[in-house]
Amino acid sequence: AQSVAQPEDQVNVAEGNPLTVKCTYSVSGNPYLFWYVQYPNRGLQFLLKYITGDNLVKGSYGFEAEFNKSQTSFHLKKPSALVSDSALYFCAVRENSNYQLIWGAGTKLIIKP
């Protein structure tokens, strides 16, 4: 069965420091991987996706994510965190061309000035 795990409910980072939000997945076919961000009282916004090709994917707002097939991970990273990055981050996966997105439970990112 397909699944997504975000092992940390919350991540705290000081402004200016690098940040990592972890995501691991389980699918039987080729994974299509996504990160979305949710700010308070707003809908989910697409950040980046991995479909094929280069394992390092760059997205919006300076975020990037690295696809690691052997570890079945797709961790979200940013070299230097901003207070405005504080939000809820969701990892999601599709298997092959299946339309269904399987979502993680989300990680709350708090960036302290």
Partner 1 sequence: GAGVSQTPSNKVTEKGKYVELRCDPISGHTALYWYRQSLGQGPEFLIYFQGTGAADDSGLPNDRFFAVRPEGSVSTLKIQRTERGDSAVYLCASSLTGFSGANVLTFGAGSRLTVL
**Interacting residues with partner 1 (CB under 8 A):** 4, 32, 34, 36, 41-46, 49, 51, 90, 92, 94-101, 103-106
Nearer to partner 1 by Cβ, of 10 and 80: the residue is: 10
Rounded to a whole number of angstroms, the minimum distance from the CB of residue 34 to partner 1 is: 7
Rounded to a whole number of angstroms, the minimum distance from the CB of residue 13 to partner 1 is: 20
Rounded to a whole number of angstroms, the minimum distance from the CB of residue 17 to partner 1 is: 25
Which has the closest alpha carbon to 91: 109, 76, 69, 79? 76
Q: Is 92 helix (H, G, I), strand (E, B) or coil?
A: strand
Contact 4, 92 (CB under 8 A): yes
Nearer to partner 1 by Cβ, of 36 and 67: the residue is: 36
Q: Return the C-alpha torsion angle 7, 58, 87, 111, nearest 10.
A: 90
